[in-house]
Chains A and B, each alone.
Chain A
Amino acid sequence: MNSSIVRIIVGQVLKVEAALLLLPCMTALVYQERAGWYYLLTAAICLAVGFIFTLRKSKNDVFYLKEGCAATALSWIFLSIFGALPFYISGEIPSYIDALFETVSGFTTTGSSILSDVEVLSRTALFWRSFTHWVGGMGVLVFLLAIIPLSGGSNFNLMKAESPGPSVGKLVPKVAYTARILYTIYLGISILELVLLLLGGMTVYEALLTTFGTAGTGGFGFLNSSMASFSPYLQWVITIFMILFGVNFNAYYFILFKKAKKAFQMEEVRAYFLIILAAVAMITGDLVRTMDFSNALRTSAFQVGSIITTTGFSTADFNVWSQTSRTILVLLMFIGACAGSTGGGIKVSRILVLIKTMLKELNSFLHPKSIKKIKMDGKPIEHEVVRATNVFFCTYMMLFAISVLLISLEGHDLVTNFTAVAATFNNIGPGLELVGPAANFGFMNSFSKIVLIFDMLAGRLELFPLLILCHPVLWKEVISRKSKIVQSRNLDRKY
């Protein structure tokens, strides 16, 4: 493996993090909080480490999928390790594991918290907590690709490792432009939400934090009651934007570049909206027995939007809802948002592929010799994609089962264990029972927290980049590099 290029990318990511840490510093300046110094200190540390990492140039910039995966996974790990520092140094979260949990939860746009009372945190800390959502939502490497011209042609492998979805396509030929388009759409919708929230009477600070949480489909609240205390107008705005951020961003690209017809033909997006409509209808029917219709509709829409997009905001304690509604929400957790959005979960497109594979298999029992290609958006899907989707699902289930087992060692009830893993693995936030929307993850022991941290990262990076990092062959290659081939490659380039 070409470990030097991986080192350089991680270094670049840390430099970006240093720049991002300046934003909470500005918050501290506005509110005259002392906490800002800790963020400045962390920024300096990030910059120094990033500088050291990028000091030595890479011998060659050949870049394959394994380098892309390793660089992505390591970047996210380093990002979290350093991002957790200010919480820890300032003493606002006394345990480093807790601080790490909170930061990973932020970057992976999970929104699970270990804090029982968020309102005691400094505004700077709250800002950084929510801002990590926004950064993690579209991905820090995609950001890196958008701003820094990386040499070497195959940096698409980076984007592939970080972007959610079974098959990542480019919008335009160049990765850098694709990344720039994605970030522009992301920024554009975020600003739109910010404006609408400000119109609803939120303060700038509140509106910013809410926007960060919605855009990244994160879900960190800055009030103990999450979003319940806001006006119906604001709740509707948040609902709509949560759902919008769960849509495949390719659809927005098509709309922007006058190919709107193509956007509405996307099977995944249509299925996504159908699922939302069905779930909202069922839960509203359930809730309407205890409250008036408009309230029931708003609450159910908010909760469905929040769970399917894996945001995790809440306006009601759905832990106390009927078993039917709770079950629907848990199922939505697994479905997740669209591929190519900021959301997590298995992804609607994968579910579609799985369902179609199942139907095809059924069909092959009726006509054993029939040949049928699985299609999506009217185009046949390559066998590779179908295979990768199936393998993803198997791996997902296995990791899920192992995680539930490991958490259960602590001795809580099954619903807690199951939904705790579901909520972190799918990057949602709150689960049910002990980890319900009104509770938090603070009571768990360090071991469980580490398992959940792993789950959050694995869920955000779609399993394989993180798993490949655990593969012994990769490390063997790092240790015994063969330089001969590097030399001949360089010669080749000169030729």
Chain B
Amino acid sequence: MFEFLNPGKKKKGQLGLKIIIVGCGKVGITLVERLSREGHDITIIDQEGTVVTEIANLYDVMGIMGNGASYSVQMEAGIDEADLIIAVTESDELNLLCCTIARRVGHCAAIARVRTPDYNIESDYLRDKLDLAMIINPELEASREAARILLLPSALEVNSFAHGQAEMIKFQVPEGNIMHGKTVSGLRKELRSEVLICAIERDGEVHIPDGEFIIHENDILSFVATREDTIGFFDHIGFKTNRVKNTMIIGGGKAAYYLASQLIKMGIGVKIIEIDKARCEKLSILLPKAIIINGDGTDQDLLEEEGIEYAESFVPLTGIDEENILLTLYARQVSQAKVITKINRINFKDVISNLDLGSVLYPRYITSEAIIAYVRAKTNSTSNNIETLYHMFDHRVEAIEFHVAEESEITNVPLKDLKLKKDMLLCFISRNEKIIIPGGHDRILKGDTVMVVTRDTGFNDIRDILE
């Protein structure tokens, strides 16, 4: 009788998910705002009573005051009926504990925010052993985004998969390019890098190409590759990426570390200015190839001495937004550098967008984007095996990431022996943090993550790829 009152027993697509958010910091509030607008049932847990009351008054959510890692508090929040728990408190350990307890008590998926680099190296191991749906690291995501801006032209559309290890990049083939007139398989032989072209739009039609497909000028290509291979691919076809050769980073926090290590991997010179001596020493151990300067990055003389005028890119990553903004404005004035501004906390978006700040990064939006993509995938499907879902080319093509949780008729079989659907492409297999662009002899194993691009919609399980 009370079924219609109880959103817990949901029928597909009818009602939102039941989501518990632990921790109401910057990311927490952003998530509440976005997810409640999408119609999910949200319960928030925080230690601070005033924060909880304030959010519960502002948004259509229920608030509970208490320690999110405690069993009784989770029970009060209805963990036994929840679909998803997202732990985004200040402390990594608390987040992991929250999710671990939630996994034991309820049947919900769990997402934890983990920021410390120590854990980050092991994030896949943690995710697997603690049985979490996702581990998010805002600093890492933000620095990935920053690296993308520095490395790839902004005209490209980029979506990331497999927790950022593979990217799907969309670009238009320039006129007179060497790719014109080549088949997809021919191109692949020619390139040594692992790049998979997964969708081509021509004259308003979207094709999922096979090996015989011939590429033309002005086609809009979507391809999947790792970051390194993308750069190699663009170099090979002679596509101008305008990437920078050196960069200057102010502040040596976690985000700076993540950004620097990615840039160094791409062969870009990195200079970090950090005020704390001990941190400098640690960074110099972690990043042997980077130049670490111990000094106050907000000191104009020091910046000039270190040659801000000649820097090709400049990324202030101090913990204080106002400082970051001032530094960017200064760099704009004295140099030609590509600049990126990271805004952690402050809101005044209208004001910020009127300033000449180059590319502006909001880590909390990047983080919440990733979580929301997951939640959408979960809402759209009844299975728990979909990790991300993107609509491309105006919903005509779906890119879906499946987690292969158990053995089935598709595992351990060479791909060439599987009867796959037409208009569908296996883009990559992610195994033990490695991206495999599959050929006919590759197999899908239990525990892999597989990305599929398809023109059919409504894939719920990896087995749907079979005829």
Contacts and interface: CB of A to CB of B under 8 A. Distances in A.
A181 B350 contact: no
A174 interface: yes
Nearest to B49: A382
Nearest to A256: B2
Interface stretch (B34-42, B176-184, B324-332, B372-380): B34-42
Contacts of B37: 153
Interface in B30-69: 36-37, 41-43, 49, 53, 56-62
Contacts of B49: 382
Contact of B42 (A157, A173, A256, A488): A173
Interface centre among A173, A181, A257 (most CB of B within 10 A): A173
B349 interface: yes
Given A181-B5, A256-B2, A382-B49, A174 B60 contact: yes
A154 B60 contact: yes
A172 interface: yes
Contacts of A413: none
A173 B350 contact: no
Contact of B350 (A157, A175, A491): A491
B58 A184 contact: no
A interface, size bucket: 20 to 34
B106 interface: no
Contacts of A425: none
A487 to B, nearest CB: 9
Interface in B1-51: 2, 4-7, 18, 36-37, 41-43, 49
A384 B57 CA distance: 14
A481 B228 CA distance: 55
Contacts of A257: 2, 6
Contact of A156 (B43, B57, B349): B57
A184 B41 contact: no
B111 to A, nearest CB: 18
A175 B39 CA distance: 12
B57 A173 contact: no
A65 interface: yes
B2 A184 contact: yes
Interface in A154-184: 154-157, 160, 170, 172-177, 180-181, 184
Contact of A174 (B2, B7, B58): B7
A491 B42 CA distance: 25
A495 interface: yes
B57 A157 contact: yes
A156 B5 contact: no
Contact of B60 (A65, A156, A184, A256): A156
A492 interface: yes
Contacts of B60: 153-156, 173-176
A172 B350 contact: no
B311 to A, nearest CB: 30
Contacts of B6: 257
B57 A495 contact: no
A256 B349 CA distance: 46
Contact of B5 (A180, A488, A491): A180
B454 to A, nearest CB: 31
Interface in B324-370: 349-350
Interface of A: 65, 153-157, 160, 170, 172-177, 180-181, 184, 256-257, 382, 384, 488, 491-492, 495
Interface of B: 2, 4-7, 18, 36-37, 41-43, 49, 53, 56-62, 349-350
A476 B415 CA distance: 73
A78 to B, nearest CB: 25
Interface centre among B49, B56, B62 (most CB of A within 10 A): B62
Contacts of B4: 180
A382 to B, nearest CB: 6
B56 A170 contact: yes
A172 B60 CA distance: 10
B58 A173 contact: no
Given A492-B349, A492-B350, A154 B58 contact: yes
Given A177-B5, A382-B49, A491-B350, A154 B57 contact: yes
A287 to B, nearest CB: 42
Nearest to B40: A173
A246 to B, nearest CB: 23
30 contacts: A65-B57, A153-B37, A153-B59, A154-B59, A154-B60, A155-B60, A156-B60, A157-B57, A172-B5, A172-B7, A172-B41, A172-B62, A173-B18, A173-B41, A173-B60, A173-B61, A173-B62, A174-B41, A175-B60, A176-B60, A177-B5, A177-B7, A177-B41, A181-B5, A184-B2, A256-B2, A382-B49, A491-B350, A492-B349, A492-B350
Given A153-B37, A156-B60, A488-B350, A173 B5 contact: no
A491 B2 CA distance: 40
Contacts of A170: 56, 62
Nearest to B58: A154
Nearest to B43: A173
Given A153-B60, A176-B60, A184-B5, 11 more contacts: A65-B57, A154-B60, A156-B56, A172-B5, A173-B41, A173-B60, A174-B7, A181-B5, A184-B2, A256-B2, A384-B53
A495 to B, nearest CB: 6
A174 B43 CA distance: 9
Contacts of A382: 49, 53
Contacts of A256: 2
A382 B349 CA distance: 34
A156 B42 CA distance: 14
A448 B62 CA distance: 43
A184 B57 CA distance: 24
A373 B2 CA distance: 38
B36 A153 contact: yes
Nearest to B66: A379
Nearest to A384: B53
Contacts of B58: 153-154
B318 to A, nearest CB: 25
Nearest to B60: A153
Contacts of B57: 65, 154, 156-157, 160
Contacts of B349: 492, 495
Contacts of B42: 173
A153 B5 CA distance: 19
A489 B277 CA distance: 44
A268 to B, nearest CB: 19
A397 B156 CA distance: 68
B200 to A, nearest CB: 32
A174 B36 CA distance: 9
Interface centre among A156, A256, A382 (most CB of B within 10 A): A156
B261 to A, nearest CB: 31
A174 B38 CA distance: 12
Interface centre among B49, B57, B61 (most CB of A within 10 A): B57
Contacts of A184: 2, 5
Contacts of B7: 172, 174, 177
Contacts of B5: 172, 177, 180-181, 184
A495 B350 CA distance: 10
Nearest to B7: A177
Contacts of A181: 2, 5
Nearest to A151: B37
Contacts of A174: 7, 41, 60
The 10 A-B residue pairs with the shortest CB-CB distance, nearest first, are A153-B59, A173-B62, A173-B41, A153-B60, A170-B62, A181-B5, A154-B58, A173-B43, A173-B61, A173-B42
Nearest to A169: B62
Nearest to A495: B349
